[in-house]
Amino acid sequence: MKRPLFGLVLVSTVWLAGYDANAQNPQPEAEPDIEHREMETYPDALLASIEQRDRTIRDALESGQVAGSESFLIISSKWPQNREITVAFLDGDKSLHEKIDKAAQEWCNHCNLKLDFGRDAASGEYRRWTTGDTSHKADIRISFDLPGYWSLVGNDSINPLIGGPGDNAGGRPNQRSMNFGKFKEALPPDFAGTVLHEFGHAIAFQHEHQHATEGCQADFRWSDDPGYVPTRDNLGQFKQDDEGRRPGIYTVLGGPPNKWPRAKVDHNLRQIQPSSAFEAGPFDRLSIMKYHFPAWMFVGGSQSRCFSFTPNNVLSAQDKLGVWMAYPKEGEPPAAGGAETTVEVPTDDGANRAAALELQRQHAVRELVKADPAAKAEAKEYYQKLQ
């Protein structure tokens, strides 16, 4: 089951099709076992602001100012039930906008949320926002001009505490909350799966490989093979040594093209701490929220339960049930279905469940205001919108 989260491990991480090097750049030497691909994450400044916000809340929890702050953080990341979430574009043309719109709407087929892209029926043009805006043109503000694919999680997209005032990404009206790098230049064949994944984050879902109790942490091959001698190809990327011993995840991601410190690797890949604030069903290998990691990253290689031979580009049966449980539509939930789905389907009516979840969410927001006194002045309007 997917978990609605708020600022705990709020990272959108993707494997691109490959490490792009143009004709003027040297090509990496052949490496059959280690694939070097650029792994995208939030811009550093954006990630730092999210971590600062989380520390403030955790400090309140540890000081006893409010009980259960971590649970309140998780619950309050969700949008209000039956919310119409507005979307706008910074750049790109209406043809590209239409493709994003159509792909993202699949989530709405299974929950009570609505995605409003502001399409003008006469012209076919979509809602736009600008970097000069002083009020929110939309809850989700998409761009195509920054590197990588990423999205803020849940209502962080309208949280003025996320991102610094001069940053190009964050929760302020003039900042990007979602990005699809290079979509304008060439739309990837599997773009719809990428759009579904990022909009999954935008409605408050986290990565499946970071599942709180059944994630891929134990399967990942974190360390080098014993005795590994650091060996690089002609691009400076780590590879097998002369004895066939392989570098681990920390070593590979610490080198080009990612150059991640160990803490950033942990932030992106290690599992979320368990919490009673969300319903965590069984690990879903088929989830749209699980990335396709190459076999070298796992201790068991292609035999790992976390490995899949192809990317997940459609919503799984568990994705559909999970979003219904977070934002229930009236009537019966969707079927759990699928050979790998073992989650128990709820028996309560969707409308009743939605009403109970909304009361829980509103209470969480009120408690967050108590937990974060500094935010009362800086983000009063934000909290009021959430209530």
Residue 36 has pLDDT above 90, yes or no: no
Whole-angstrom distance, CA of residue 265 vs CA of residue 254: 8
Residue 11 has pLDDT above 50, yes or no: no
Cα atoms in the Cβ-side hemisphere of radius 13 Å centred on 74: 20
- Give residue 66's pLDDT: 52
The whole-number average pLDDT for the span 87-93 is 98
35 or 92: which leads in pLDDT: 92
Residue 68 has pLDDT above 80, yes or no: no
Q: Which of 142-146, 152-156, 239-243, 378-382 is predicted least confidently?
A: 378-382
Residue 62 has pLDDT above 70, yes or no: no
Q: Tell me the three state secondary structure of residue 267.
A: helix
The whole-number average pLDDT for the span 235-261 is 94
CATH class assigned to 14-386: alpha beta
For residue 6, what pLDDT band results from cuts at 50, 70 and 90? very low
State the average pLDDT for the chain: 82
- Give residue 35's pLDDT: 82
pLDDT tens digit sequence for 297-318: 999 999 998 888 888 899 999 8
Residue 328 has pLDDT above 70, yes or no: yes
For residue 137, what pLDDT band results from cuts at 50, 70 and 90? very high
Token code pair at residue 122: 């006469």
For residue 221, what pLDDT band results from cuts at 50, 70 and 90? very high
Residue 23 has pLDDT above 50, yes or no: no
368 or 49: which leads in pLDDT: 49
The whole-number average pLDDT for the span 148-161 is 92
DSSP class of 131: T
Query: If you search the block for the tokens 């060439």, which residue do you land on?
Result: 186
For residue 342, what pLDDT band results from cuts at 50, 70 and 90? low
Name the residue among 332, 336, 353, 352 with its Cα closest to residue 344. 336
The whole-number average pLDDT for the span 106-115 is 96
Q: pTM of the prediction?
A: 0.83
Q: CB–CB of 174/136 below 8 Å?
A: no
Residue 352 has pLDDT above 50, yes or no: yes
Q: Which of 9-13, 63-67, 295-299 is predicted least confidently?
A: 9-13
Q: How far is CA 118 from CA 169, 202, 302, 303, 305, in A?
A: 22, 17, 44, 45, 41
For residue 331, what pLDDT band results from cuts at 50, 70 and 90? confident
Q: CB–CB of 331/349 below 8 Å?
A: yes
Residues in the chain, how many? 387
Residue 257: cis peptide before it, omega within 30 degrees of 0: yes
Residue 170 has pLDDT above 80, yes or no: yes
- Give residue 363's pLDDT: 79
Residue 31 has pLDDT above 60, yes or no: no
Whole-angstrom distance, CA of residue 66 vs CA of residue 365: 12
The whole-number average pLDDT for the span 349-368 is 82
- Give residue 30's pLDDT: 39
Residue 351 has pLDDT above 80, yes or no: yes
At position 59, the amino acid (one-letter code) is D
The whole-number average pLDDT for the span 17-41 is 52
